[in-house]
């Protein structure tokens, strides 16, 4: 397993002093990085945060593998009802290891597809139901709290659609000791896997939240966890030269806070890493977007993550990245050794705009375009860096996800914020519960109604 982080184009020597980091600035930040590592390590040792332990949960991994082997062949579709951290990890794994939709090819009991219901848009849910056969679908319902409104709404419809014998086709992933989903799962006898209390949604891809759906669609979760375990060992090294999670955390922290870059572009040059970019968006936004420090000081911290896809977004976003405000750090994600080159035919057609490509490969073009874009950004003083995965397989993807989780946790320490809560979404949830008539939320319904009255007045 080999993942390389290249920060050359974040440096002043490449992109100038205004937007680039001088060696002295980097050196001055190193004690902060080491302190962040030690601080996070103490919290993990206290048992506060559990994601670093997930790749080492051999008994859980084996239990999931056994379950997968037992049900294999009885379904051609895995239907996941879940949202946010309960869905994005599974998408990252499906897309990363089996390829992007809609070109995964025909689905069969030996090559099942993953259909994710992570919204309550009836246009999604009803179309999904029409596209699935209830006798050939295994439903995985995932909610740590056991009562996420969107997941419950979609699940109630899917449960009904499965019919009276449906309970046999449902698997639950939820908390062990609480929540209505756990009650229902016990009552109706769903096989159930548990999310450790100290593993939050966006850090749960290597817990049963990500591993159960992954195993069901045929991902080798043992290799996935092996890669993540290897990265975990690196991520605890108090050594910036050997620890890519800590080194990238430091460099991104310095670029963001010292050079005022409120936006990070996660820029995979790989359609397979597109799902991972959306998983990362949640990890970065929800962990580091915080009103207050842990001391209670108001800071409104947060760097807005943007997902861009190379080469595609060179024809959509790169004009802005090159000439717009210099307010971004661009993080390329590349794969050193693609599975196939995608050979372009050797035949020449006598067309100058075509023939230089004859006999070359798509893989080379993809690589050249990424390097050309990085060079052009650097020429315009735009900070950029790159993670390179040696290959894109279970081991490397598991390692990369774990790297990004550690990186985020380290950033949280450097910013002195709690990277593991999400209090900011509570008010919207309470308005929703109030408006949907859930008991105990009547006062939020009234507050919402006062807001609507005011809006009507303002509109005049």
Q: Using CB under 8 A, which of 44, 364, 390, 418 touches its own copies?
A: 364
Q: Which is nearer to its own copies, 8 or 41 (CB)?
A: 8
Nearer to its own copies, 96 or 208 (CB): 96
Say whether residue 18 binds its own copies (CB under 8 A). no
Is 153 a binding residue for its own copies by CB under 8 A? The answer is yes
Catalytic residue among 111, 135, 429, 454: 429
Total number of residues binding its own copies (CB under 8 A)?
A: 146
Binding of its own copies at residue 334 (CB under 8 A)?
no
Applying CB under 8 A, the span of 39-47, 68-76, 206-214, 451-459 interacting with its own copies comes to: 451-459
For the CB of residue 299, give the shortest distance to its own copies in the complex, in Å.
Answer: 9
Q: Does 59 bind its own copies (CB under 8 A)?
A: no
Closer of 37 and 170 to its own copies (Cβ): 170
Minimum CB distance to its own copies, residue 41 (Å):
25
Q: Considering only residues 374-433, where is the footprint of its own copies by CB under 8 A?
A: 375-376, 378-380, 392, 422-425, 427-429, 431-433
Residue number with CB closer to its own copies (29 or 434): 434
CB of 361 to its own copies, least distance (A): 7
Cβ contact 93:205 at 8 Å:
yes
Minimum CB–partner distance for residue 204 and its own copies (Å): 12
- Least distance to its own copies from the beta carbon of 214, Å? 17
For residues 188-207, which are near its own copies according to CB under 8 A? 201-202
**DSSP helix/strand/coil, 78:** strand
Annotated active-site residue in 46, 315, 352, 452: 315
Which position among 62, 70, 131, 186 is part of the footprint of its own copies (CB under 8 A)? 131
Which segment (143-151, 166-174, 213-221, 222-230) binds its own copies by CB under 8 A? 143-151
- The yes or no reply on residue 296 touching its own copies (CB under 8 A) is no
Q: What is the 8-class DSSP label of residue 80?
A: E
* SS3 per-residue string spanning the chain: CCEEEECHHHEHHHHCCCCCECHHHHHHHHHHHHHHHHHHHHHHHCCCCCHHHHHHCHHHHHHHHHHHHHHCCCCCEEEEECCHHHCHHHHHHHHHHHCCCCCCCCCECCECEEEEECCCCHHHHHHHHHHCCHHHEEEEEECCCCCCHHHHHHHHHHHHHHCCCHHHHEEEEECCCCCHHHHHHHHHCCCEEECCCCCCHHHCCCCHHHHHHHHHCCCCHHHHHHHHHHHHHHHCCCCCCCCHHHHHHHHHHHHHHHCCCCEEEEEECCHHHHHHHHHHHHHHHHHHCEEECCCCCEEEECCEEEECCCCHHHHCCHHHHHHCCCCEEEEEEEECCCCCCCECCCCCCCCHHHHCCCCCEHHHHHHHHHHHHHHHHHHCCCCEEEEEECCCCHHHHHHHHHHHHHHHHHHHHHHCCCCCCCHHHHHHHHHHHHHCCCCCCHHHHHHHHHHHHHHHHHHC
**Residue selected from 212, 318, 386, 403 as contacting its own copies according to rule CB under 8 A:** 318
Please name which of 120, 106, 117 lies closest in space to residue 139, comparing C-alpha atoms: 117
Whole-number minimum distance, CB 65 to its own copies, in Å? 26
Is 34 a binding residue for its own copies by CB under 8 A? The answer is: no
Query: 232 to 271, contacts with its own copies by CB under 8 A?
Result: 262-263, 269-271
Nearby residues of 106 by Cβ (< 8 Å), 6 or more positions away: none
* Known active-site residue 315: yes
286 has catalytic annotation: yes
Instruction: Pick from 29, 112, 146, 200 the residue near its own copies by CB under 8 A.
Output: 146
Distance CA 347, CA 203 (A): 49
The window from 47-55, 225-233, 240-248, 434-442 that contacts its own copies (CB under 8 A) reads 434-442
- Asked if 14 is part of the footprint of its own copies (rule: CB under 8 A), the reply reads yes
Rank residues 237 and 365 by Cβ distance to its own copies and give the closer one. Answer: 365
Catalytic pick from 150, 182, 226, 286? Answer: 286
Active-site residues: which are they?
286, 315, 429
């Amino acid at each position: 397993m080999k993942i390389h982080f290249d920060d050359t184009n974040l440096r002043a020597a490449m992109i100038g002093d205004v937007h680039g980091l001088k060696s002295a600035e980097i050196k001055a930040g190193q004690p902060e990085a080491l302190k962040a590592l030690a601080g996070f390590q103490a919290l993990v040792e206290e048992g506060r945060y559990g994601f670093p332990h997930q790749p080492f949960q051999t008994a859980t991994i084996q239990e999931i593998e056994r379950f997968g082997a037992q049900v294999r062949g009885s379904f051609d579709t895995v239907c996941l009802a879940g949202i946010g951290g309960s869905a994005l990890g599974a998408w990252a794994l499906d897309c990363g290891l089996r390829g992007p939709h809609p070109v995964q090819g025909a689905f069969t009991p030996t090559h099942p597809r993953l259909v994710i219901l992570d919204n309550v848009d009836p246009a999604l849910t009803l179309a999904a139901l029409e596209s699935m056969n209830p006798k050939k679908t295994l439903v995985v319902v995932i909610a740590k709290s056991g009562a996420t409104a969107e997941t419950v709404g979609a699940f109630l419809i899917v449960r009904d659609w499965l019919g009276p014998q449906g309970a046999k086709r449902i698997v639950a992933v939820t908390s062990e000791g609480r929540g209505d989903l756990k009650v229902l799962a016990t009552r109706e006898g769903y096989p159930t896997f548990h999310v450790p209390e100290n593993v939050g949604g966006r850090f749960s891809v290597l817990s049963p939240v990500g591993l159960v759906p992954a195993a069901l669609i045929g991902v080798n979760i043992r290799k996935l966890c092996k890669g993540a375990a290897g990265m975990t060992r690196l991520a605890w090294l108090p050594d910036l030269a050997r620890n890519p999670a800590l080194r990238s955390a430091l460099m991104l922290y310095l670029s963001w806070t010292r050079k005022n870059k409120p936006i990070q572009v996660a820029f995979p040059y790989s359609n397979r890493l597109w799902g991972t970019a959306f998983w990362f968006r949640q990890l970065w936004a929800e962990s580091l977007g915080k009103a207050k420090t842990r001391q209670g000081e108001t800071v409104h911290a947060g760097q807005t993550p943007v997902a861009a896809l190379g080469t595609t977004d060179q024809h959509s976003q790169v004009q802005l990245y090159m000439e717009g405000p210099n307010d971004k750090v661009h993080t390329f994600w590349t794969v050193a050794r693609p599975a196939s080159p995608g050979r372009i035919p050797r035949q020449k057609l006598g067309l100058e705009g075509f023939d230089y490509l004859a006999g070359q490969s798509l893989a080379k073009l993809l690589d050249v375009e990424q390097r050309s874009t990085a060079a052009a950004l650097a020429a315009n003083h735009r900070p950029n860096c790159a993670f390179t995965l040696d290959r894109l397989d279970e081991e490397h993807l598991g390692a990369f996800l774990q790297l990004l989780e550690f990186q985020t946790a380290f950033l949280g320490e450097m910013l002195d914020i709690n990277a593991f809560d999400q209090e900011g979404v509570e008010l919207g949830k309470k308005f929703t519960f109030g408006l949907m008539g859930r008991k105990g939320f009547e006062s939020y319904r009234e507050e919402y109604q006062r807001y609507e009255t005011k809006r009507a007045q303002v509109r005049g």
